[in-house]
A and B are shown apart, each in its own frame.
Chain A
Amino acid sequence: MEFRYIVLVLIFITAGLSSYAQERPASTPGNNYTASTTITVKIPRIANITLSENRTRQIPDLSSGTDIPATENQMLKSIESNGKWAIDVVNTDVEYNKAENRQASSTRPSRTLIYITSQP
């Protein structure tokens, strides 16, 4: 009689273990495990102008243009920019003051004016 009980207990134990193994979930992530971030970038229209004497002038905004009064022996060497640009080189015997929009002096020696503007 006891053998029957033993056999029954063994059957229940086996069935229980089998059920436990089946109900146990697979490798399922339990919680949130991702995180997101955002990167924003602002890039203005900018340019660097290098003259022959390794003088570099930064133009913060080509849309408004800028002028560079080049002194003796200074010549435009290179431009690096992320926008389209145009160059006007004007020989003049006066220095041009763009800020005041007038001739700054008529007594200076001959200079070259480099005027750079952006193009649409």
Chain B
Amino acid sequence: MKKFILLPLFAVLFFIMNISGAKAQISGAAGPVKNHLISVIINPTYALTATSSTNAYNFSSATQLTNGITTIGAVSLDYSANALTKIMVNASTANFAGGSGSNPMPSTVLTITNGVNTAALTTTPQAIATSLPKGTGTVSIDYKITPGLTYDAAADYAISLVYTLTSN
């Protein structure tokens, strides 16, 4: 029974002695010691730039309107991120501005591809490049626009595309 009482007592005494010894060592040092905690916060960081701001298409024949015009490397997207990312694309409006108000040209006449993923442009964001690695990189985007013969002649058709870099 005495063992059960003495053993914890010895353990406590041993612990106190160790603490005192450590304190004695610190007291014998050259000066006071201060711990300096360095905290680092790394937020998810994304950056995306487009190398060209405007792409102009000037159709001159029915064949072009029917078969479409393709532009390889129409825009290059430079990105940097500290996480796995993907690039989404969407149209700012459902239809092109300009032309006939009663027969507007929809955004879907424009097809976008990076050689792997292809999307007809809509106002709903669609993934055009996925599983982009951390760091910096460039994604080349091709455009193909095929109005056909449905839409009126006009010189002021225009639409804005929005590319968004987001976590994968």
Binding site for B on A (CB under 8 A): 2, 16, 20, 24-25, 27-48, 58, 60, 80-83
Q: What are the residues of chain A within 8 A of B27 when measuring CB–CB?
A: none
Binding site for A on B (CB under 8 A): 16, 19-20, 23, 37, 39, 41, 43-50, 52-63, 65-66, 75, 77, 81, 92, 96, 99, 105, 110, 143, 145, 147, 149-167
Q: What are the residues of chain A within 8 A of B163 when measuring CB–CB?
A: 34-37
Q: What are the residues of chain B within 8 A of A43 when measuring CB–CB?
A: 59, 65, 99, 147, 151-155, 157
Q: Does the CB pair A35–B149 fall under 8 Å?
A: no
Q: What are the residues of chain B within 8 A of A16 when measuring CB–CB?
A: 37
Q: What are the residues of chain B within 8 A of A60 when measuring CB–CB?
A: 60
How many inter-chain contacts with C-beta < 8 Å in the A-B complex? 147
Chain A contact residues, majority secondary structure: mixed
CB distance from A55 to the nearest CB of B (A): 15
Q: What are the residues of chain B within 8 A of A36 when measuring CB–CB?
A: 50, 53, 92, 160-163
When C-beta atoms are compared, the residue in chain A nearest to B149 turns out to be: A82
When C-beta atoms are compared, the residue in chain A nearest to B99 turns out to be: A43
CB distance from B125 to the nearest CB of A (A): 11
CB distance from B9 to the nearest CB of A (A): 15
Q: Does the CB pair B158–A44 fall under 8 Å?
A: no
* 6 additional contacts (CB under 8 A) given A38-B54, A43-B99: A20-B39, A33-B48, A37-B50, A39-B54, A40-B56, A45-B153
